[in-house]
């Protein structure tokens, strides 16, 4: 009874309730919560501390940033309060709209970075992008297949796959990248390679149409990787596979500013958990490349089946 009373007392505060509703939607930093709620950092931090002590929220550190999330498995009276707050709390609608804008800003920062890079990828350094790693991803490809290349950029890899694939759909959220890639495809005569402007969390591809979905150095740019993987599961045919090439966990904080990274890589177990949550099975992973120069990025290859 005491625990229930404490929980209800914590959620009686509108600020803590608003925070909980936001964290049930997205994993957010204090700075992002400040932007959404328009409140001082001290007030938000104190409220987050109370939510954590009562077990409603948790945090994880990524470099210098701390991301907060809410535990979705609330029940009983707490669940009733949360459901009621979504409908009755006057600030909830405004908070949801502000959350959408904040998440859009995350994506816009990455899009602006890639717009500047269009046409120059082959001539400059990008963490984790090595031909050694890409070769590992190509080994399991057997034509003819319909392949969805998520976050394809200008599509160097998509064009390589188009040489043997039945069809390649290259998705990217940068208009400049899509324009540049489409022009290259026309120039090289690839009629089975189609570029589509879209978000990898909501790719413009029909359900159950792809044999393989590829994320090559993409997930660390995605605000919600689980959502992107769930979308990949949706567009795959039964028995289809997903292939992920991404950076292993690292502490090179400068990657956020230099390369517009949202996440500082992923641990293998972290990707396994994300894939399971998205509905995938037969998950396998390994380190396939290690860079010799500082900061010694390592590349993970992860495969899974629908």
DSSP states along the chain: -HHHHHHHHHHTSHHHHHHHHHHHH--B-HHHHHHHH---HHHHHHHHHHHHHTTSEEEEEETTEEEEEE-S---HHHHHHHHHHHHH-TTHHHHHHHHHHHHHHHHHHHHHHHHHHTT-GGGS--TT--HHHHHHHHHT--SS-EEEEET-TT-HHHHHHHTTSSEEEEEES-HHHHHHHHHHHHHTT-TTEEEEE-BTTB-S--TT-EEEEEEES-GGG-S-HHHHHHHHHHHEEEEEEEEEEEEBP---TTHHHHH--SS--B-HHHHHHHHHHHT-EEEEEEEEEE-SSTT--EEEEEEEE-
What's the whole-number mean pLDDT along residues 106-127?
70
pLDDT at 160 over 50: yes
- CA–centroid distance for 299 within its chain: 17
Which pLDDT value is given to residue 139? 44
Token output for 71: 């535990």
Q: Determine the average pLDDT of the residues in 217-229.
A: 96
Interval 130-159 mean pLDDT: 76
Q: Is the pLDDT of residue 277 over 90?
A: yes
Span 270-298, mean pLDDT?
A: 92
- 204 has pLDDT over 70: yes
- What pLDDT is attached to residue 63? 78
Q: What pLDDT band is residue 7 in, cutting at 50, 70 and 90?
A: confident
- Distance CA(304)–CA(306), nearest Å, equals 7
Residue 74: what pLDDT? 60
193 contacts 158 by C-beta, under 8 angstroms: yes
What is the per-residue pLDDT across 47-96, written as a single tens digit (0 to 9) for each?
A: 999 999 988 999 988 878 899 999 766 666 677 788 887 888 888 888 98
Residue 253 CB neighbour total at 10 angstroms: 15
Q: Say what the pTM is.
A: 0.69
The region of weakest confidence among 158-167, 175-184, 293-302 is 158-167
pLDDT at 194: 96
**Cα separation, 218 vs 221, whole angstroms:** 6
Cα 25–31–33 angle (5° rounding)? 35
Q: Distance (Å, rounded) from C-alpha 234 to C-alpha 226?
A: 12
Give every CB contact of residue 172 below 8 A, 6+ residues apart in sequence.
114, 151, 152, 153, 155, 178, 181, 195, 197, 198
Do 225 and 219 meet the contact criterion of CB atoms below 8 Å apart? yes
pLDDT at 107: 78
Closest CA to 221 of 61, 65, 111, 67: 111
Task: List, in order, residues 6 or more apart from 139 with CB less than 8 Å away.
Answer: none
Nearest to 27 by CA among 135, 102, 129, 119: 102
Residue-level pLDDT at 164: 85
81 or 238, higher pLDDT: 238
If pLDDT is split at 50, 70 and 90, which confidence band does 130 have?
low
Comparison of pLDDT for 171 and 127, the residue scoring more: 171
Q: Please give the structure tokens belonging to residue 231.
A: 């979308």
Domains of the chain: 2-106 (1.10.10.10), 121-305 (3.40.50.150)
Give the sign of the dihedral formed by CA 281, CA 238, CA 199, CA 19.
negative
How sure is the predictor about 2, in pLDDT bands with cuts at 50, 70 and 90?
very low
């Amino acid at each position: 009874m005491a625990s229930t009373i404490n929980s209800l007392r914590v959620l009686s505060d509108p600020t803590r309730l608003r925070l909980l509703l936001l964290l049930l939607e997205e994993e957010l930093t204090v700075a992002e919560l400040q932007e959404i709620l328009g409140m001082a950092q001290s007030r938000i931090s104190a409220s987050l501390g109370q939510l954590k002590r009562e077990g409603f929220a948790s945090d994880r550190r990524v470099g210098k940033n701390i991301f907060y999330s809410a535990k979705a498995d609330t029940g009983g009276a707490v669940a009733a309060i949360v459901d009621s707050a979504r409908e009755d709390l006057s600030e909830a609608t405004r908070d949801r709209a502000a959350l959408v804008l904040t998440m859009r800003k995350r994506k816009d920062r990455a899009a602006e970075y890639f717009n500047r890079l269009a046409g120059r990828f082959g001539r400059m350094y990008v963490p984790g992008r090595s031909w050694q790693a890409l070769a590992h991803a190509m080994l399991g490809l057997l034509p003819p297949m319909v392949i969805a290349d998520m976050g394809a950029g200008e599509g160097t890899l998509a064009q390589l796959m188009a040489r043997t694939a039945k069809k390649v759909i290259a998705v990217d959220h940068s208009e400049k990248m899509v324009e540049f890639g489409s022009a290259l495809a026309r120039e090289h005569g690839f009629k089975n390679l189609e570029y589509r402007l879209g978000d990898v969390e909501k790719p413009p591809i029909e359900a159950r149409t792809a044999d393989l979905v590829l994320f090559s150095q993409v997930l660390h740019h995605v605000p919600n990787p689980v959502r992107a993987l769930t979308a990949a599961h949706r567009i795959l045919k039964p028995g289809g596979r997903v292939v992920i090439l991404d950076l292993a966990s690292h502490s090179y904080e400068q990657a956020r500013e230099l390369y517009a990274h949202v996440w500082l890589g992923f641990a293998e177990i972290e990707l396994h958990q994300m894939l399971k949550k998205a509905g995938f099975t037969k998950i396998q992973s390994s380190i396939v490349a290690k860079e010799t120069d500082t900061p010694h990025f390592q590349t993970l290859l992860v495969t899974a089946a629908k």
